[in-house]
Structure 1
Amino acid sequence: CNAVEKMEIEIPSGFTKQMNEEGFISKTVGKDLILAGNEEWEYSGTMYAVYDFLEELGCRWFFPGEYGEVIPQKKTITIEERDRTERPSFRFRNLWYSGWFPVSATDSARLGEWYDRNKMAALKISLPGDGSVTQLAPPDKYFEDHPEIYALGKDGKRHKEMLCMTHPNSYKIAIETVKEAFRKDPDRISFAFAPPDGFPMCYCDTCQSYFPGFEGKGYGDPSLSDLWFQFANKIATEVYKEFPDRWIFTNGYANRVRPPEGVGKLSPNLGIQSAIIAACSIHKIGDPKCWQRLLYKQILDRWTKELNCVFIYDYDPGNSLVNLPFPALHNLRHDIPYFKDRGVWGFWTEGTNTWMVTHLNYYIRSKLEWDATEDVDALVRDYCEKFYEKAADPVEEYIWTLEDTIDSATVHETWGRLMPWRVILPSVIDKLDTLMESAEKAANNEKVKERVHVLRLTHDHMKLYLDMEESVAEGEFGKAVEDGEQMLTIRDEAEAIQTGLLPNSPDWVKNFRTSLEWHMTKYQGLADRIDGTSGELVSMLPREWSFKEDPEDVGTLYQWYNDPIDDSWRPLDTTLYWEAQGLQDEKGWGYWGKAWYALDFEVPADQPAENLWLTIGAVYNDGVWVWVNGERMNFKMDRHWRLGYHDVRTPIDIDISKVVHPGETNRLAVLVSTGMPGRNPRGGIHRRSFLWEAKAEPTGGSPDRADPAE
């Protein structure tokens, strides 16, 4: 720094609560090369200048660790004359590992190195973490003497994890808490708070009177936005009077996604971390074929118009936990410049230590978050040439084939949900196979062969998942479990090369409903029902049943469960939810409401009716009813973890012994109800159904023996 000062060279410097002073210079002065940057506060400008120069020399860090490193050998370095100043497009450039997949101390250290080398920056500010609202009034300090400031639950009791948002003492204590924090620490930039994760609420009469009844378009629950942002804005407004240069941060998440309607002008020191978990993760912001991304744009445009500070909490990968590829480059090259144009301050990206799932996503993020004008095509080409050398061409085409396929898909996906890969990929899988083979043939040294092999493992892992899901659709549940076992073997091989490429789930995630292990457990249970373990197969019901919408909800009155199957019904696959089969409009709004499935089936005349069970593989629903031969059946509900209806991925087992007629044609009818599209825009039967003879009454998620409903 002293040397630069003596040369009277101007470099980025200073620090304010706006946090926009970051940057560096790369400049030649005679025969000297000056690499220097802002080192005040949390800034690391000089380090970034050095790594930027190393990139000019051909060094790359595409992935953490030795596996992702490219360091060229050069005998001579030529430095052209230069005078360049760089500043980042975004203040916050953070990506962190969530706990969905294992993260060792070594993995964390590797991420930190990768972070620095690719000019990422979190900046140490107070963030609105889930449950941080209690920092405004710590329960150990206030609960005993001021229980009235804590949220009233449905049970009539006060709950320490959430505040009442209307009691005068809530405001008084919260405002004083924030002011006192700023008084004690003049360098503190922000105070942040947010409700606990989920759907926080206060049920006192005053809080409830503020609800306008709007849907949040997050999880479809009543929106808390009006009440919450009135609460946050009052605190921010009072704090602003004494500390106009400090920030009050909260989040727009879950039932607080949309901007409020009745709060008025928001305080200039109020900022938001926008976390729209419900927005489709495979389409671009504003994509005309995706209503979720159209609404995302509407929401973000409003937030960035009404607030001085908006930053993004997003999810990458934005799909389920089965470790399939999550191509997102087509989104990133469109969305990140959009965020820049809207004045967004940056990103807190929830990532996972699964680098062959996200592949280039994080690297491209780092480049665009530093410079939103970067050419993504050129970045991908550079990656392919430096990482795969003579195999660059087929790998590049492989990457863009996957990207283009996802970009053009008309299905929709949100974080934690299962993408219908067997709708998306079959049309291009042969091409991907050919490109993979070409890359293997072109690999020109041991290092490149290893890198191509890791891509091959990821490719084969993806194909096995497709085979697994198709096996389930064909009723070959045991084969599906075998496919899953092979996927686990592939993960082990990838992890032996370097941890974090394609890892296995930690134990606590294996029971989560979109993990590979959870599905293998379910598929094994289905296999046990029909392979002699728990029972014997009587009949695998066809994939295609007759289907009819019931938007007026009159089917039960007209007893459609007894109607002849005429031209008013149409065929529909029962191994795939109905939106993925085209039941949606041009913006992707799926059909919602009531709809019927019907099937006439035979039971052999010599089949004993005793212990005869029907298993319906799984149903996306917010209500499901079943009739056999005109009798509505009772079955035990395997309740969704949060909602009151049958779990959308758990089989439905029904004892039909007393209503089935061996040797005759039997009628099966299923009525499915779905709510208005929200985070989970899908409905209908989506897994193969069958008849089986049970050796004993099913247990563990299966129903009681049940007579037809009265």
Structure 2
Amino acid sequence: MKRLSVKIIAIALCVCCVLSFAACKKDDPTADDTLKFTDYPFITESVSEYKIVYPQSADTSKSGYKGARELKKYIETATGAVIPMISDAGLTHSDDNKYLSVGKTALLEGAGVELDADKLQSSGLRIKTVGKSIYLAGATEYGTLYAAYEFLNRVFGMETYAADETYIDTGVKTIKLPDMDVTEVPSFNYRIGKYGAYNAEFRDLMRVHSEERFIAPLNGYLYHNSFKALPTATYQADHPDWYSTDGLQLCYNARGNETEYAAMVDTASDVLLSCLQAAPSAMSITFTHEDFDTWCGCAACSASKEKYGVDSATAIGFVNDLAVATNAKLKAAGDTRENIIYWLFAYGPTLKAPVTKTDGVYAPVDDGVDMRENNIGIIYAPILMDYTKPMTHVNNAGYKDVFAQWSAMTDNVYFWGYDTIFSDYFNVHNTFGTIQENLKVAKEYNVVSAMLQGQHDQRAATCFNNFKIYLAAKFEWNLEEKYDDLFNAFFDHYFKDASATMKELFISLTTHCAWFADEYNVYGQGGVVTVKEDYFPKGAINNWLELIDRAYADIAGMKTSDPEGYERAYNHINQESLAFRYMLIQLYGAEYLDSELTEMKTQFRRDCGNLGVTHFREHQTIDGLWSKWNLA
């Protein structure tokens, strides 16, 4: 079989799902995973008698129907066989039928294929051969879409590595019907892709989500949104007690004024009611404090901190009351949703939980900070952690302990990790080897949603960030994946004929980063800039740029053998070159003639434009860099 690269085209898609958590597993962990085949013909010389069946009631804009379309599209790509799609109207199961049934069709029940919603939850999938048909479905639309992708992966080797790199075996002219019985549930039921490279199509292929698919935005905002519910311009003049002593946060006690507190809860719950009604599929909503490392210092908040030892207790108490009020208003309005999760932040001033520790076991200080009764969830976002070290490392022991604290408080924990240098996007953040270990820690502590925030406002990132995106998605789906297997697969497909050289470059770079981190005691937090002469000597940078040149030479033969593949591989190599060229200009630009330096900067800007680089740091466009470099 030869390999074909399929360029992915973005399409819009947005569906909400229920949050939950499970380990990535099969029905029988000891089962042989080798693909087996029946004696029945599936495709013979690019011709098939099969039909793809979807539910007559299917919403063509939803993921389940998309699963049927993707199945048709990629089977044709792999085999040349054009398989028609039909609805299940009037169809029943028979062992002699020749169907690929996608989703909860009328055929499914007759075939005896069960979909255990509690087990599969919102992302799990089932694939089962019954007679001459194959059934692909999940308990939700997403599970059904992922069942289609899993079938394509197992039967035709389909795998997505980047937004512009999806591979599938081609030239498969003849193949027997696969004999399959697969149940798969991901390690984290909700996996958020917080990287700018993601569009709707790429997210689906990588089996990750956007936050909006399960969280109802609060007046358009998902995080740091407390002032969006209770804006100062609207309420502060009449309700000054609603705001902290410094005016940067809410006062979650309303300064101890019971009348004002009741009005504050009532007003905020009206806002949450409206937002949840506007997102009828959402099963959660956030009410999170503003992005300042400060808290209210009024007498009531100070007394709470004295009692509980932490500031988070006041937020927990308020959100508990907010959840009760909002749920009552939803019920009165006829909304039948149950177990809505109300998320608050463990971030900055609220990082630590109000717990006691007895015989090594954490528990809430008292019932006043109970979070389970009203389904309060926590978004644990340890922004100051050293992400170049695993959470099990001594540098991060305190953060692992905080994970344990919050898991004692609630069954709904959302891990928000960080995966780039936010103050300079051209800095290498050497977290490749810690992603899996940190997610394993998260799995221990009730995590139902996992997100690593990378360059979320940057589509084309350097410093091997596309490899990070791939690693995060693969580990969030299955924590038992092997790093070396993922490393080899990604580099072989993403850099093609330059794979060996780019592997050498990557290993040299990450080894060097580990060296200077230890040598200079560099703390790998997302605000620590590492482009410094001590860390990156000119000789090392030039050695890496020589490897870049060798990589270009490696792919030269593809110009004629695979022009489209050559163009993508060239761009991928060029994108990685930006980090090293940036270091050279920033650190050693003074060593070049003015004309040479201007040409280096101009070519750098030209390549950034061609590749789609739009930002040089969080929330600051690349134009700011051109201004610093005096490029008109």
TM superposition score normalised by structure 1? 0.59
Runs of 5+ consecutive residues of structure 2 not aligned to the other structure: 1-104, 332-337, 357-363
Distance 1:344 1:88 in 2: 12
Partner secondary structure for residue 321 of structure 1: coil
Q: Is the contact between residue 510 and residue 517 of structure 1 (CA under 8 Å) also seen in structure 2? A: no
Distance 2:625 2:323 in 1: 45
More deviation, 331-340/390-399: 390-399
In the alignment, is residue 259 of structure 1 matched against residue 353 of structure 2?
yes
Distance 1:86 1:255 in 2: 39
Q: Name 1:60's counterpart in structure 2.
A: 159
- How do 1:674-689 residues align onto structure 2 when only pairs under 5 Å count? none
Distance 1:62 1:483 in 2: 35
Runs of 5+ consecutive residues of structure 1 not aligned to the other structure: 99-106, 216-222, 525-710
Q: Name 1:379's counterpart in structure 2.
A: 486
* Distance of aligned partners of 1:172 and 1:86 in 2 relative to their CA distance in 1, 3 Å threshold: same
Of residues 460, 475, 478 in structure 2, which corresponds to 1:354? 460
Q: Name 2:380's counterpart in structure 1.
A: 274
In the alignment, is residue 35 of structure 1 matched against residue 136 of structure 2?
yes
1:418 offset after TM fit, Å?
Answer: 1.1
1:115 offset after TM fit, Å?
Answer: 0.3
Distance 2:268 2:325 in 1: 10
Q: Name 2:3's counterpart in structure 1.
A: none
Q: Is the contact between residue 139 and residue 160 of structure 1 (CA under 8 Å) also seen in structure 2? A: no
* Distance of aligned partners of 1:459 and 1:389 in 2 relative to their CA distance in 1, 3 Å threshold: closer
1:176 offset after TM fit, Å?
Answer: 4.0
Q: Name 1:301's counterpart in structure 2.
A: 404
Q: Name 1:641's counterpart in structure 2.
A: none
Q: Is the contact between residue 225 and residue 255 of structure 1 (CA under 8 Å) also seen in structure 2? A: yes
Q: Higher helix fraction: Structure 1 or Structure 2?
A: 2
Distance 1:511 1:198 in 2: 26
- How do 1:9-408 residues align onto structure 2 when only pairs under 5 Å count? 9-13=113-117, 20-39=121-140, 43-56=141-154, 57-64=156-163, 67-76=164-173, 78=175, 80-96=178-194, 111-122=199-210, 123-126=213-216, 129-134=222-227, 137=230, 143=236, 145-153=238-246, 164=254, 166-176=256-266, 189-211=283-305, 224-232=311-319, 235=322, 245-260=339-354, 264-265=365-366, 266-268=370-372, 269-288=375-394, 291=395, 293-350=396-453, 351=456, 352-357=458-463, 358-408=465-515
In the alignment, is residue 4 of structure 1 matched against residue 108 of structure 2?
yes
1:441 offset after TM fit, Å?
Answer: 3.4
Q: Name 1:493's counterpart in structure 2.
A: 607
Q: Output one character per residue of 1:635-670: Cα deviation in whole Å (capped at 9) or x when no partner.
A: xxxxxxxxxxxxxxxxxxxxxxxxxxxxxxxxxxxx
The amino acid of 2:139's aligned partner reads N
1:206 offset after TM fit, Å?
Answer: 3.2
1:365 offset after TM fit, Å?
Answer: 1.1
The amino acid of 1:470's aligned partner reads L
Q: Is the contact between residue 137 and residue 173 of structure 1 (CA under 8 Å) also seen in structure 2? A: no
The amino acid of 1:29's aligned partner reads V
More deviation, 267-276/27-36: 27-36
The amino acid of 2:204's aligned partner reads D
Partner secondary structure for residue 413 of structure 1: coil
1:428 offset after TM fit, Å?
Answer: 5.3
TM superposition score normalised by structure 2? 0.65
* Distance of aligned partners of 1:160 and 1:343 in 2 relative to their CA distance in 1, 3 Å threshold: closer
Distance 1:281 1:412 in 2: 9
Partner secondary structure for residue 61 of structure 1: strand
The amino acid of 1:36's aligned partner reads A
The amino acid of 1:334's aligned partner reads E
Q: Output one character per residue of 1:209-248: Cα deviation in whole Å (capped at 9) or x when no partner.
A: 5555999xxxxxxx74354445445656888999983322
Q: Is the contact between residue 427 and residue 531 of structure 2 (CA under 8 Å) also seen in structure 1? A: no
1:378 offset after TM fit, Å?
Answer: 0.6
The amino acid of 1:250's aligned partner reads L
Q: CA RMSD in A?
A: 4.0
Q: Is the contact between residue 152 and residue 204 of structure 1 (CA under 8 Å) also seen in structure 2? A: yes
Q: Is the contact between residue 134 and residue 162 of structure 1 (CA under 8 Å) also seen in structure 2? A: no
- How do 1:444-459 residues align onto structure 2 when only pairs under 5 Å count? 444-446=557-559, 447-459=564-576
Distance 1:481 1:313 in 2: 45
1:81 offset after TM fit, Å?
Answer: 1.9
Partner secondary structure for residue 62 of structure 1: strand
The amino acid of 2:125's aligned partner reads F
Larger Rg: 1
* Distance of aligned partners of 1:281 and 1:516 in 2 relative to their CA distance in 1, 3 Å threshold: farther
Q: Is the contact between residue 273 and residue 326 of structure 2 (CA under 8 Å) also seen in structure 1? A: no
Structure with greater contact order relative to length (CA < 8 Å, sep ≥ 6): 2
Q: Is the contact between residue 381 and residue 416 of structure 2 (CA under 8 Å) also seen in structure 1? A: yes
